[in-house]
């Protein structure tokens, strides 16, 4: 039983990071009504910007590189919207979808051109886990879980207790009516992309600290975020959070039954099953962000 409990604990930690990816993805969908396939490259950008800042000539320590890396990731996210999606916003949804796929390929290949396709790490040594009740957690896993909890708590307070959060929810419910009522579309749009970029970049950094970096890491984690979004229901922020946890737990419990190399099979299977039998998700809503 301790073996399965350890897998469950590992799954919750990994799922909390997947939830960061999924929440950012569903925020953009909830307001702008399209799936940003380049969201995965924001994940990779956060991780690779830290690598860039830690290398010569800057040689910043890991903690010192995080905030500048997130600022650069936000810049990339805002640039995505300003130069690609905003000019196409009044086109069909399929146009935005194709644009996001093309942008994803462009950014992924740019990362590969600059940093190469080999696996890279931050050079953090192995650490002994902290044991309690027969279970073990490394300090990296504790940081991952704690950081995810902090950001998701911040988002809850933002959406429920602030004027900006209420404006975001109003715009997601009915953009035209929110505009008539005087809510600034530009301000809300910037806030959505800022939050999505910070969440994606933070999750990417946490994943890179725990494992390694490679140009395909964005696409791999985008699939998991998409699976979580489908589980929770498109536009439902809290459903995406639950979906991310379910994906993480399912992946890690699956290790008990098949090779770890097939972990991604879980996400693909969930996507297929949800599209076939419950395309609106388990916590679907009529529209908007909840």
DSSP E strands in 52-102: the ranges are none
CB–CB of 96/209 below 8 Å? no
Question: Which pLDDT does position 289 carry in this prediction?
Answer: 52
Structural domain boundaries in the chain = 2-115+139-277
- The pairing of strands 130-132 and 135-137 is antiparallel
Average of per-residue pLDDT across 200-207:
95
Outline where 162-184 has alpha helix (H): 163-173, 175-180
Burial-class residue 33 by CB neighbours within 10 Å (0-12, 13-18, 19+). Answer: middle
Question: Which pLDDT does position 146 carry in this prediction?
Answer: 94
Question: Which pLDDT does position 174 carry in this prediction?
Answer: 79
Question: Which pLDDT does position 1 carry in this prediction?
Answer: 67
Rounded to whole angstroms, the Cα distance separating 142 from 157 reads 22
Query: 248-264 pLDDT, tens per residue?
Result: 999 888 888 877 777 77
Residue 140 Cα distances to 106, 125, 154, angstroms = 31, 11, 21
* DSSP assigned state of 86: G
Question: Which pLDDT does position 21 carry in this prediction?
Answer: 95
Query: 2-115+139-277 architecture in CATH?
Result: Orthogonal Bundle (1.10)
DSSP E strands in the chain: the ranges are 130-132, 135-137
Rounded to whole angstroms, the Cα distance separating 96 from 109 reads 20
Residue 183 has pLDDT above 80, yes or no: yes
**Average confidence score pLDDT of the chain:** 88
Query: Which range has the worst mean pLDDT, 8-22, 96-110, 210-224, 267-281?
Result: 267-281
Query: 34-69 pLDDT, tens per residue?
Result: 899 999 999 999 999 999 999 989 889 999 999 999
Please confirm whether the linkage preceding 57 is cis (ω < 30° from 0). Answer: yes
Report the alpha-carbon angle 119-147-281, nearest 5: 85
> Phi and psi at residue 213, in whole multiples of 5°?
-115, 140
pTM over the 0.85 mark: yes
Question: Which pLDDT does position 277 carry in this prediction?
Answer: 85
> Phi and psi at residue 136, in whole multiples of 5°?
-135, 140
């Amino acid at each position: 039983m301790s073996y399965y409990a350890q897998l469950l604990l590992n799954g919750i930690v990994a799922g909390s990071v997947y939830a960061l990816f999924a929440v950012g993805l569903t925020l953009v969908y909830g307001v702008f009504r399209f799936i940003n396939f380049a969201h995965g490259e924001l994940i990779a950008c956060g991780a690779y910007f830290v690598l860039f800042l830690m290398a010569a000539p800057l040689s910043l320590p890991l903690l010192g590189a995080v905030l500048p890396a997130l600022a650069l990731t936000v810049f990339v996210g805002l640039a995505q919207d300003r130069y690609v999606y905003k000019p196409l916003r009044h086109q069909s949804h399929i146009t935005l979808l194709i644009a996001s796929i093309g942008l994803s390929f462009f950014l992924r290949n740019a990362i590969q051109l600059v940093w190469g396709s080999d696996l890279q790490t931050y050079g953090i040594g192995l650490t002994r886990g902290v044991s309690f009740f027969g279970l073990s957690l490394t300090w990296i896993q504790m940081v991952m879980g704690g950081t995810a909890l902090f950001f998701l708590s911040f988002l809850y307070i933002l959406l429920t207790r602030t004027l900006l959060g209420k404006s975001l929810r109003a715009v997601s419910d009915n953009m035209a009516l929110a505009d008539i009522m005087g809510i600034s579309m530009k301000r809300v749009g910037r806030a959505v992309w800022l939050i999505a970029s910070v969440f994606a970049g933070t999750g990417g950094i946490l994943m890179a600290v725990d494992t390694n970096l490679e140009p395909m890491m964005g696409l791999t984690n985008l699939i998991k975020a998409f699976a979580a979004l489908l589980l929770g229901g498109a536009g439902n922020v809290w459903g995406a959070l639950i979906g991310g946890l379910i994906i993480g737990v399912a992946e890690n419990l699956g290790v008990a039954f098949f090779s770890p190399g097939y972990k991604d099979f879980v996400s693909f299977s969930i996507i297929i099953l949800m599209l076939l039998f419950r395309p609106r998700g388990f916590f679907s809503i009529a529209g908007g962000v909840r």
